[in-house]
Amino acid sequence: MFCILRARLKVDILRRDTDYSLRAIVYLARHYGNEPVSARELAQSGGIPYQLACKLLQKLHNAKLVESSMGPKGGFKLSGEPSKISVLKVIKAIQGRLSLNRCLLSANVCSYHRQCLISRKLADLQQQMESFLNNVTLDKLVSTRAKNSSYKR
C-alpha cells in the first residue's frame, strides 16, 4: 500500500519581500521632503533584516522609485511625490507582475485555456485588482496610517 502525502501550499499574492518593500517605501513617504533616511533606519522601522533591506532598496532604486545619496547625511528618499507612486509600481518593481493564476500570464501555459470559463473570471478579477492597487498611492497610505494612529484603543 502506498501513501501519498500532499503538502498544502499557501500561495501569497504579495511576497514577503514585497511586504517589506512597501513598509520601507511608506516610511520614506512619511518622511517626504526631509533628509534622506539610512538603510539601517528603514530596516529597523519596518522590522526588515538589514541585508535584505539593502537589496530591496537597490531594486526600488533600479525601478526609479527611490533615490540614493552617499555620505554622512546620505540615505534614501522617494524619487517623486508620494501621490505619484502607486502600490502597483512598488509590487512590480519587487516581484514583477501580479498573477492570480499561471494561466493569466500566457495562453501557452494551459492547453485548456480556450474553453476555460474560470480563467475569464480570474482575468476580470486580475484587472480589478491591478486597477485598485494602481489607484492606491503612497500619500493615501500615509494619510490612512495617520488617521488610524490617532485612534485611542
**Arithmetic mean of pLDDT, 29-43:** 96
Residue 153 has pLDDT above 70, yes or no: no
Q: Where are the domains of the chain?
A: 16-144
Of 43, 44, 121, 32, the closest CA to residue 79 belongs to: 32
- Using CA atoms, how far apart are residues 83 and 86, in angstroms rounded to an integer? 8
Class of 16-144 per CATH?
A: mainly alpha
pLDDT recorded at residue 122: 80
- Using CA atoms, how far apart are residues 102 and 94, in angstroms rounded to an integer? 18
Residue 33 has pLDDT above 50, yes or no: yes
Residue 133 has pLDDT above 90, yes or no: yes
pLDDT (tens digit, 9 = 90+) per residue, 62-105? 999 999 999 888 899 999 999 999 999 999 999 998 877 666 66
pLDDT recorded at residue 7: 47
